[in-house]
């Protein structure tokens, strides 16, 4: 009787190896380095513009008070009564109401188009305050200023969220918002110098508002706008 062929002995199972951690893999190390390089590039190309926008925004809010010291109430005949306080108040009505609708519009249009458009309109209106000759003109300019300026903060936060993760946005938002207290160091000093100019029929306080045209409309509105359009999504 033929013998059955013997089967080869089973090899012992291979030893179980510990899976290497992701951080120890060369690919993971490459990803971390790449993320840092990309974030650094975002920081250099995005944060300076946003910092400048917020700095000018807070300087603008103090301009009306500085203009009062430079003779605005006397020239517009609102030195008595509550007219000047009304002009201060009307700014915050559209500023508060436009916040949420502005963020919805930002989702519909590109941030690289919408934000520079807001900034340009804000700069133009701020400049027009220097040309106003009446209390009604001042109120209209203040209403439009609050309308265009109210969507900037929410829009900037959404814009940052397009490039950074949630935890990274917190840190960048803190850097961007630090421009607010810094504006107090320059706003009064700049206004005191501009408030001494008397040229072309405009005396003192209009030049505080005219100074916004070049940096806001020419700089952040056009140069920064094209830059944000390149980096917008």
Q: What whole-number distance in Å separates Cα of residue 18 and Cα of residue 21? A: 9
User: Dihedrals φ, ψ of 20, to 5°?
Assistant: -65, 145
Q: Band of the pLDDT at 2, cuts 50, 70, 90?
A: low
Do you know the residue count of the chain?
Answer: 233
Domain count, the chain: 1
Q: Which residues pair with 199 in a beta bridge?
A: 202
213 has a pLDDT exceeding 70 = no
* Structural domain includes residue 38: no
Task: Enter the tokens of residue 83.
Answer: 């007219």
In a domain, 37, yes or no: no
Query: Positive or negative CA dihedral for 110, 115, 120, 121?
Result: positive
CATH number of the domain to which 138 belongs: 1.20.1250.20
**Residue 15 forms part of a structural domain:** no
Tell me if 159 is assigned to some domain.
Answer: yes
In which band, very low, low, confident or very high, does the pLDDT at 221 lie, cut at 50, 70 and 90? Answer: very low
Domain membership of residue 42 (yes or no) is: no
Q: How confident is the model at residue 151 (pLDDT cuts 50, 70, 90)?
A: confident
On the question of pLDDT at 167 being above 90, the answer is: no
- Is the per-residue pLDDT at 211 higher than 90? no
pLDDT at 169 exceeding the cut of 70:
yes
Asked whether residue 63 is assigned to any structural domain, the reply reads yes
For residue 149, being part of any structural domain is answered with: yes
Residue 182 belongs to what domain range?
49-226
113 to 88, 116, 117, 231: CA distances (angstroms): 29, 6, 6, 10
Residue 30 falls inside a structural domain: no
Give the model's confidence band at 26: pLDDT under 50 very low, under 70 low, under 90 confident, else very high: low
Is residue 24 packed enough to be buried (19+ CB in 10 Å), middle (13-18) or exposed (0-12)? exposed
């Amino acid at each position: 009787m033929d013998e059955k062929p013997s089967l080869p002995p089973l090899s012992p199972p291979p030893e179980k190896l510990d899976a290497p951690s992701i951080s120890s893999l060369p690919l993971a190390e490459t990803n971390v380095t790449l993320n840092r390089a990309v974030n650094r590039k975002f920081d250099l190309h995005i944060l300076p513009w946003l910092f400048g926008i917020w700095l000018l925004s807070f300087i603008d809010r103090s301009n009306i008070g500085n203009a009062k010291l430079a003779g605005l109430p006397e020239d517009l005949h609102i030195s008595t009564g509550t007219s000047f306080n009304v002009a201060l108040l009307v700014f915050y009505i559209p500023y508060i109401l436009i916040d949420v609708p502005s963020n919805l519009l930002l989702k519909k249009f590109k941030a690289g188009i919408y934000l520079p458009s807001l900034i340009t309109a804000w700069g133009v209106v701020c400049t027009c305050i220097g040309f106003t000759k009446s209390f009604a003109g001042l109120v209209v300019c203040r209403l439009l200023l609050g309308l265009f300026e109210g969507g900037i903060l929410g829009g900037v936060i959404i814009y940052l969220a397009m490039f950074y993760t949630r935890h990274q946005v917190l840190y960048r938002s803190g850097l961007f918002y630090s421009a607010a207290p810094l504006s107090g160091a320059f706003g009064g000093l700049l206004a005191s110098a501009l408030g001494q100019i008397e040229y072309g029929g405009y005396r003192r306080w209009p030049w505080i508002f005219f100074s916004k045209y070049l940096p806001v409309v020419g700089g952040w509105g056009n140069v920064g706008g094209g830059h944000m359009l390149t980096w917008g999504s």
